[in-house]
Chain A
Amino acid sequence: TQLLEQSPQFLSIQEGENLTVYCNSSSVFSSLQWYRQEPGEGPVLLVTVVTGGEVKKLKRLTFQFGDARKDSSLHITAAQPGDTGLYLCAGRLNKFYFGSGTKLNVKP
């Protein structure tokens, strides 16, 4: 079983819609990172959250770390085709544990 469960696994939406991706665990993490990966490339870091309840914004992306530091969400407002990719959360205990990813497809 995965330490970090991501949902949904797949998401296909129209340009302009909003979406939220969830990353849940029963473990408490010292930090949590979100990455985006495109085909044939390595993941690229979007954000790191460290404090319980922390909210960070990156343009149209909003990241939240749960109060208990066991879960996180990524919300995208007015999605664009350029947001298409695989979104991965990674929680740090003694090492990084990755979620299974959410494949997002934004149709023009």
Chain B
Amino acid sequence: GEEVAQTPKHLVRGEGQKAKLYCAPIKGHSYVFWYQQVLKNEFKFLISFQNENVFDETGMPKERFSAKCLPNSPCSLEIQATKLEDSAVYFCASSQFGGVEQPQHFGDGTRLSIL
């Protein structure tokens, strides 16, 4: 598609439950990025992929968070045993190439609310 598509738009989970978010990058884009935006507007980088390979995972919490980008499937970000502090908007972005000038095209985000 011509846009980054994130689903669902809003996800509500009880503390301790699992949450799974999906992202379909723009067709032909090789790089996918996941970010977490919390209340103070701060964007925190989580992980990036080059095709199905993890490119940079230095922002991923070591426990509970995992992500995949498999061929012919939307990318996914999964949080096990969610905590209240996981409440945030999770954005996915894609870019065609990895160069320094490459624009990132963002989806509209998934708002995760942990109750």
Contacts and interface: CB of A to CB of B under 8 A. Distances in A.
Contact of B109 (A33, A42, A45, A50): A42
A48 B58 CA distance: 24
Given A31-B101, A48-B101, A100-B41, A42 B56 contact: no
A22 interface: no
Interface residues of A, number: 25
A33 B58 CA distance: 21
Interface in B81-102: 91, 93, 100-101
B45 interface: yes
A43 B4 CA distance: 12
Contacts of A45: 103-105
Chain A facing B: main interface SS: strand
B96 to A, nearest CB: 13
Given A42-B109, A43-B106, A48-B103, A96 B42 contact: no
Given A41-B109, A50-B100, 20 more contacts: A30-B100, A33-B103, A41-B108, A42-B93, A42-B107, A42-B108, A42-B109, A43-B106, A44-B106, A45-B104, A48-B103, A50-B101, A88-B43, A96-B45, A96-B104, A97-B45, A98-B35, A98-B42, A98-B45, A101-B42
